[in-house]
Each structure stands twice: as C-alpha cells, then as structure tokens.
Amino acid sequence: MRKIGIISLMILLVFIYILVRPNPEIVSVSLISETAETAYTDNDSIRIFKDAIRTVKKVRGAVDVGPPTYRMNVTYADTEVVKFSLYLDFETKSGFLIKDSNSEKMLKLKDRSSRELTDLLSKVSTN
C-alpha cells in the first residue's frame, strides 16, 4: 500500500509541474509570403501569435496541402526558432498551422485566433 501512495504522489507532482511550468516567451515572429517578409515584436502582436499557437487543436489523420499563405518563424527567448506553415483564409477568417518538425499533422486555429490573425495581417497588407 505504501508503494501505491508514493507512486500516486509522484504522479501528482509531475502533473502539477506540467500544469504550472512556465511557457517559453516568444520574442519575435516573422512571416514570409511570396512578396514580403514582416517581423512582429510588439506585445499585442506577440500575444495574438502566442494565443494562436497555444490554443490549436490537432486534426486527426495526415494532411496533404498546397503552399502556405505564410512561412512563420517563431523565435523564443532562449533563441529557439520553431518553423510553421500558416494557412489563412481571409474571407472566412479561418486557418491552421503545420509545424515543420511534424509536417503531417494539421493544427486547427481556434475561431478567435483566426479572426485576430487575419485582422492583424490585413492591417499590414493595407498599409
């Protein structure tokens, strides 16, 4: 019985650590399209990208899609760079990500994140 209690405690501690561990901070996001490259470093833009990445939902099965709307490079405070393909439909304000390191898995953006991203990127393209 004592072993079960110790194992349960260890599992609980690991679970708590996973829930409260700090997420790495994003310091910049660069988007590359066929015609331009734009870097985002301001707090509001970083928040939009961070929320979008944090709240994606995995889509079951493998994907086979065409070229992305943007290539996205996310740079974290520890200098790690994570590369994504970003697919956005500006009319329906929907989209998804595909992480380069796992290119067969589609990550669907939440509706709110898709709207915020399309709104942000529409501002840039009209300026």
Domains of the chain and CATH, by start: 23-126 (2.60.40.4400)
pLDDT (tens, 9 = 90+) of the chain, 127 residues, equals 577 778 888 887 777 776 666 667 999 999 999 899 999 999 999 999 999 999 999 988 777 788 999 999 999 998 899 999 999 999 999 999 999 998 888 999 999 999 999 999 987 654 4
Decide if 97 contacts 87 (C-beta within 8 A): yes
11-24: per-residue pLDDT in tens?
877 777 766 666 67
Strands, E, within 41-112: which ranges? 57-58, 70-76, 81-89, 94-99, 107-108
What is the C-alpha to C-alpha distance for residues 118 and 95, in angstroms, rounded to an integer?
Answer: 9
Q: What's this model's pTM, rounded to 2 decimal places?
A: 0.76
